[in-house]
Structure 1
């Protein structure tokens, strides 16, 4: 479980530099906490793209850009996930949030629907508003 989860948009160099303490103030970062970010990225991609969770794991998704000795990591969100989020309608975001809450509940992890909705809608907004040529969406965890 990640204590702090931050999503941000950057060029690859900026993503690697974020490992030490998270994205700096020059990045618009979304901050959340207390969920397994790596597993969430797998869950969301599997649900949105129809590729199985296990298949994504076998293909080493999400890609780890940097890992620190203290437990911090930076993950690259795949183009498939980012593109799916960027074109998701409000109803698709709500449906994903409902599905994610149910999926985590089965695993014994309770996440409230309003929290799941805010996380996902904020990430959708970030992909639509901040993504520029030469940049990618990343997730920093600690």
Structure 2
């Protein structure tokens, strides 16, 4: 199964939800990637960047869903937590590389293999998007289909 993932910037949940059916391409600044569970990944990244436990983040209902058809047939849209958005925006390239390496190890323990170069580019580009969102006073969202 192929998963299409697009992280994007939007001013608010209402604006973000308007693109749930078609995706954010051409509407907001976005970053496309694919073939991993982004909702789980953002929890793992936040845990690695902030030191909060994975379990505590799940208990806090992170990431917060903005739109979900609930039947598994349509796209899922969620907002990246303010803590993760801030941590990404403030992370140095060295810190992002460290987190990428740790995330690759975590995923390998679950039988998933990720290319280190791809992960490095993904986290770097995501951090750039988080900085842009922060500078505009907007949120960082994720659309998965």
- Does the TM-score normalized on the shorter chain lie above 0.5? yes
Counterparts of 1:22 and 1:125 in 2: how far apart (Å)? 20
Q: CA–CA distance in 2 between the matches of 1:86 and 1:103? A: 23
How far apart are residue 26 of structure 1 and its match?
A: 2.3
1:44 aligns with 2:45: yes
Residue 102 of structure 1, aligned match among 102, 105, 111: 105
Does the 8 Å CA contact 1:2/1:36 hold for their aligned counterparts? Answer: no
Where in structure 2 are there 5+ consecutive unaligned residues? none
2:133–2:139 Cα contact (<8 Å) kept: no
Please show how residues 105-116 of structure 1 align to structure 2 within 5 Å: 105-116=108-119
RMSD: 1.4
The answer for the alignment partner of 1:8 in structure 2 is 8
| Matched pairs, number | 141
Matched, 1:84 2:107: no
Q: Which runs of 5+ in 1 are unaligned?
A: none
Report the TM-score when normalising by structure 2: 0.92
TM-score by length of 1: 0.94
